[in-house]
Amino acid sequence: MTTRLSRRKLLSHLAAGSAFGMSVSAIPGTSAYQQPQSKGNKTKEGDPIWEKVRKTIVEELGVPEAKVIPTARFVEDLDADWVTMYQLVSDLEQEFHLDASETDVKKFITVKDLVDYIKSPRSFIAEHPSSEHRRNPYPTDVMYSQDHEWVKVDGKNVSIGITDDAQESLGDIVFVTLPKIGTEIAVGEPFGTVESVKAVSELYAPVSGTVTDVNGELATAGEKINEDPYGAWMIKVTLKDLLELKSLLSAAEYKKSVGRQKSTKNH
């Protein structure tokens, strides 16, 4: 049986957790990094896309052909930085009709990553969250509430989700209940629930406004929040009062707040 946590209990629950810093094994470019395995599209000798990529790498980077294997890492094995990789992708764009952004290119750790991206850009991007969010539990492109929600601002519209600290504390998320489009939410008031293997916890609105979009996929795929909490937005809202944003925290302020909560609990 699950239990419903009040806001105070949820904060205590978070404070009792361990520190959620990323280990070196989660950082691309380190020797301990374990590259996520892409699904399907195995790279084989004779594959025309693989052969074209290998040829382009050899010609553009001057890398001995014997070194260009699927598991070769661009930075460590082929001495290529992301700027060089972006140029490499540009040389392949016309033939394969690519439209890779700098953010996409920074996700290419191995040669196989580039091959998989060419075969299915959408699938590759879905399987590889942005590098900043994967490395950093406190990204700077969002604002934070004391109740462990994040807010990404776009003019008078915002996207809302829960933070990395929140999903780590809750554990495996299995179900999410969210409001319908058109619902009015008020700052500090519940707007939905998250059910994990540990408990059912209420979500508190970090701002007031009207719900304009709902991520319905999360209702039956809560694990997406665990996998990429800052990519798995829950609702989008048109703000009622822009001044409410002043009460939100920056990444540095939120990180300190979480640290204080844990320190207070431990003492």
Using an 8 Å Cβ cutoff, are 165 and 14 in contact? yes
| Cα angle for residues 252, 257, 259 (degrees, 5° grid) | 95
DSSP 19: P
User: Residues with Cβ < 8 Å from 45, sequence gap 6 or more?
Assistant: none
Q: Report d(CA 261, CA 16) in Å as an integer.
A: 8
Residues that are catalytic = 81
Strand partners, 185: 209
Q: Report d(CA 3, CA 194) in Å as an integer.
A: 11
- Selection from 117, 123, 80, 78 nearest residue 101 by Cα: 117
